[in-house]
Structure 1
Amino acid sequence: MTGKNYLSHATYIAIFTVLAVVILYYARLFLIPIGFAILLSMLLLPVSNWLENKGVGRIAATLLCILLVIVTIALILLIIAAQAANLSEQWPQIQGKLQEMVTQVQQWVQQQFGVAPQEQIKFVQEQIQKFSQSANQFGTSLLKGSLGLITSFALVLLYMFFLLWKREKYHQFFLKLFSAEHQDNVRVALREITEVAGQYLAGRLFSILFITAFYAIGFSIIGLENALLVAPIAALPILVPYIGAFVGSIFPLVMALVSGSTGMVVPTVAVMLVAQAIDNNIIEPLVMGAKLNLSPFFTIVAVVSGELVWGVAGMILFEPLFAVIRIVCGHVRGLHPYAYLLENEVAEPNWVKKLKNLFSKGTS
């Protein structure tokens, strides 16, 4: 390829990328539910196939998969609601400890900066007053957001039904886009995309379950109050790569400061660090493996760009989207350099390979 042709090719790629970002942004209300539906459908595809092999009809198997999603989410909400009710009973005690902590902070501020407690209270009241001016607007936005979330969830379930029910039709659609000589390559790409999307979400969910269990046991051992409530709330943000672990750590630290003594902070941090170390170095490599094969740099790019374009949903969906782009580029001759740029350059440790071999032998 000559220099002029290369520049022209790069220009077309840049224009296509810009147009794709514009479409993703302005069509986000339509595309986000479809994105989650596709991801969940690929995750539950083995379940649907297993049910059908057992003699269950396609429609019944699809409805059972959707019911599994609903029951799982309902159980998570039920556990959090039950623990929240327990927390509300202990609120008077927590409120008293919170007041003690506020008093200690006021004394520290007065000693360090010479600001009297009365002036501190006045400043806080002014900030509360400013915040209360937008309270009605915030409440309205929250209500609209909740209704929108319910509507989006219903759309996700509806899309899932049709994606699982008529999955062969969509598979054949992609094959018909290409000539017969390229269809074998397309089949391989579609199989890789299905495996990547399904295993990505399965890995994330398994990590959340592991972190929840580890936090619940660890926080209970060190004596952190409401450990069973803190654990799932701290683990759920892990669905977002990298950033989720930091966001999820805020609630346990606050509970350690409010419901316990300052000496509770160090054990709480230790539990979270150990859990994250095990998850990052053992759980994720074994469960997710190298299926994504995405560079750490572009993983961060995916999270950041996803937040800019689709918000929190983009932070979850853009990592598998980038992995899909890598797969597509790897199967298109002219796009091989972009696949090389996106793929993971960090070699998998030998001990992870050995564990995988042991795991595969144990399950075979």
Structure 2
Amino acid sequence: MNLSFSKLFFVLAFVFGLFAVMVIAKSVLIPLSMALLVSFILFPVVQKLEAWGVNRLLAAFLSLLMMFLILTGFLTLFSTQIMNFSDQIAGFTGKIMDTLSEVIVYINGNINFIEDLNREELIEEGISWLQASSGTLLQSTFSTTATLFTGIFTTIIFTFLILIYRDGLTKAFVSFGEVENQDRIFRMLQKIQRVGKQYLSGMFILILILGFANSIGLLLIGIDNPFLFGFLAALLSIVPFVGTTIGAVIPVLYAFMSSDSLWVPVAVVIWFWAIQVIESNFLNPKIVGSSLNVNALVAILSLLVGAAVWGVAGMILFLPFASILKVICEEFDQLKPIAMLISNDISGDEKKAAKNSMWIEKVKGWFK
């Protein structure tokens, strides 16, 4: 097999250039990517409204308004629990400092890092540090909130524009191909839209199921604000692998701080562990995994690369992007081996093995 260093150089240069652009222009690309996925799920709604005789501009506006009302309804539903939780957080400060001071004094008593460490002085120093850092924390919170609302507003604008200019955008992308391949490119775009819609609708269904399951368990255990913690953990499951763990840690810490019994946080841990096992092995593969068709290795790489490039937004977006990349690669003979690497279709039958053998030969010919 002959290795073409020129082709290898251009491939690596393209990959590094692509990631450089993604990092530099992330303030634009993140809301644009979010808007693209949101437009995928709102597209059928806009089509239905237009079939009823509604103007395209008005149809796009009404679909976005409907989504906004649904999100506002959820926030309003949990607003009371959010206020109760914020009030309780202030009361937990003293308990947190007491617990930390006892742990530090106990460790210091056995290892003796610092001579004559006093628990009351340690608590006073901790409170003084919290008061001194509160200004920086407030400034950081304000900056993060402003950035978040700016991103949401930009995403809404991009979504509206994509919905009203979708025909022109589709024709432009189709025109990049040769005349005999334009129908194939159009079908590829339809498949991409279908994958994005199935992923988002699947995630919505999964969040509802996990939210109610988590909330019912917390309600039975006796945790305050069960629906707030239950649906918060369900929302965090959007981030693959990491989100479910973080979503479970928050109610466990709350149970530890709000309850005098150790069995309450232990019961929360057991309940969330059982829910996570069911979600990982049954719910996610059936509801979301079937639409993505991405293997576990690519999913983990998407999570790590997305976190390195775009942070939390990348952890959410790069997994459906990997599935979209698979759809694109399946339409080009030279890129079909990449689609094989991404795909989760693993079968031992002879027909599949013969196809795999054929594409392995194509991989060998990449650098000839």
TM (normalized to structure 2)? 0.84
The verdict on how the C-alpha distance between 1:237 and 1:8 changes in structure 2, with shifts beyond 3 A counting, is same
Q: CA deviation at 1:215?
A: 1.0
**Whole-Å separation in 2 of the counterparts to 1:342 and 1:27:** 26
State whether residues 25 and 310 of structure 1, in contact with CA within 8 Å, keep that contact through their aligned partners in structure 2.
Answer: yes
Deviations for 1:246-265, whole angstroms, at most 9, x for unmatched residues?
A: 11111111111111221112
One-letter amino acid matched to 1:156: T
**Whole-Å separation in 2 of the counterparts to 1:24 and 1:95:** 40
**Whole-Å separation in 2 of the counterparts to 1:111 and 1:304:** 40
Q: CA deviation at 1:119?
A: 3.5
Matched, 1:238 2:227: no
Number of positions where the alignment pairs a residue of Structure 1 with one of Structure 2: 346
**Whole-Å separation in 1 of the counterparts to 2:265 and 2:138:** 33
**Whole-Å separation in 2 of the counterparts to 1:138 and 1:93:** 18
The verdict on how the C-alpha distance between 1:88 and 1:154 changes in structure 2, with shifts beyond 3 A counting, is closer
Counterpart mapping for 1:256-271 below 5 A: 256-260=255-259, 261-271=261-271
Q: CA deviation at 1:54?
A: 3.3
State whether residues 105 and 119 of structure 2, in contact with CA within 8 Å, keep that contact through their aligned partners in structure 1.
Answer: no
Q: Which residue of 1 aligns with 2:45?
A: 47
State whether residues 98 and 123 of structure 2, in contact with CA within 8 Å, keep that contact through their aligned partners in structure 1.
Answer: no
**Whole-Å separation in 2 of the counterparts to 1:295 and 1:304:** 15
**Whole-Å separation in 1 of the counterparts to 2:116 and 2:185:** 69
**Whole-Å separation in 2 of the counterparts to 1:345 and 1:127:** 54
State whether residues 101 and 258 of structure 1, in contact with CA within 8 Å, keep that contact through their aligned partners in structure 2.
Answer: no
Q: Which residue of 2 aligns with 1:190?
A: 189
The verdict on how the C-alpha distance between 1:77 and 1:112 changes in structure 2, with shifts beyond 3 A counting, is farther
One-letter amino acid matched to 1:229: L
One-letter amino acid matched to 2:153: A
Q: Which residue of 2 aligns with 1:358?
A: none
**Whole-Å separation in 1 of the counterparts to 2:52 and 2:173:** 29
TM (normalized to structure 1)? 0.85
**Whole-Å separation in 2 of the counterparts to 1:201 and 1:97:** 41
Q: Which residue of 1 aligns with 2:357?
A: none
The verdict on how the C-alpha distance between 1:313 and 1:117 changes in structure 2, with shifts beyond 3 A counting, is farther
**Whole-Å separation in 1 of the counterparts to 2:128 and 2:196:** 47
Of stretches 147-156 and 52-61 in structure 1, the one that deviates more from structure 2 is: 52-61
**Whole-Å separation in 2 of the counterparts to 1:117 and 1:48:** 70
Matched, 1:305 2:317: no
Matched, 1:326 2:326: yes
**Whole-Å separation in 2 of the counterparts to 1:133 and 1:86:** 26
**Whole-Å separation in 2 of the counterparts to 1:277 and 1:101:** 31
Q: Which residue of 1 aligns with 2:337?
A: 337
Matched, 1:287 2:287: yes
**Whole-Å separation in 2 of the counterparts to 1:11 and 1:20:** 14
Q: Which residue of 2 aligns with 1:169?
A: 168
The verdict on how the C-alpha distance between 1:124 and 1:325 changes in structure 2, with shifts beyond 3 A counting, is farther
Q: Which residue of 2 aligns with 1:22?
A: 20
Q: CA deviation at 1:233?
A: 2.2
**Whole-Å separation in 2 of the counterparts to 1:287 and 1:176:** 35
The verdict on how the C-alpha distance between 1:79 and 1:294 changes in structure 2, with shifts beyond 3 A counting, is same
**Whole-Å separation in 2 of the counterparts to 1:46 and 1:40:** 11
**Whole-Å separation in 2 of the counterparts to 1:294 and 1:178:** 27
The verdict on how the C-alpha distance between 1:305 and 1:121 changes in structure 2, with shifts beyond 3 A counting, is farther
One-letter amino acid matched to 1:257: F
**Whole-Å separation in 1 of the counterparts to 2:8 and 2:90:** 63
Counterpart selection for 1:68 from 66, 69, 77: 66
Counterpart mapping for 1:217-256 below 5 A: 217-256=216-255
**Whole-Å separation in 2 of the counterparts to 1:278 and 1:178:** 45
**Whole-Å separation in 1 of the counterparts to 2:85 and 2:137:** 25
State whether residues 106 and 117 of structure 1, in contact with CA within 8 Å, keep that contact through their aligned partners in structure 2.
Answer: no
State whether residues 255 and 264 of structure 2, in contact with CA within 8 Å, keep that contact through their aligned partners in structure 1.
Answer: yes
State whether residues 295 and 346 of structure 1, in contact with CA within 8 Å, keep that contact through their aligned partners in structure 2.
Answer: no
Alignment gaps of 5+ in structure 2: 348-368
One-letter amino acid matched to 2:9: T
Matched, 1:154 2:116: no
One-letter amino acid matched to 2:54: V
Deviations for 1:272-313, whole angstroms, at most 9, x for unmatched residues?
A: 122222322332233224332212111111111111111111
Instruction: State percent identity of aligned pairs.
Output: 28
Alignment gaps of 5+ in structure 1: 348-364
One-letter amino acid matched to 1:266: V
Q: CA deviation at 1:89?
A: 5.5
Q: CA deviation at 1:154?
A: 1.1
Deviations for 1:90-120, whole angstroms, at most 9, x for unmatched residues?
A: 5687668657756764675467546899535
Q: Which residue of 2 aligns with 1:79?
A: 77
Q: Which residue of 1 aligns with 2:34?
A: 36
One-letter amino acid matched to 2:237: I
Q: CA deviation at 1:58?
A: 2.0
State whether residues 233 and 251 of structure 1, in contact with CA within 8 Å, keep that contact through their aligned partners in structure 2.
Answer: no
Of stretches 132-141 and 36-45 in structure 1, the one that deviates more from structure 2 is: 132-141
**Whole-Å separation in 1 of the counterparts to 2:39 and 2:289:** 20
One-letter amino acid matched to 1:57: N
**Whole-Å separation in 1 of the counterparts to 2:125 and 2:322:** 46
State whether residues 101 and 122 of structure 2, in contact with CA within 8 Å, keep that contact through their aligned partners in structure 1.
Answer: no
When the two chains are superposed, the root-mean-square deviation of aligned CA atoms in Å is 2.8
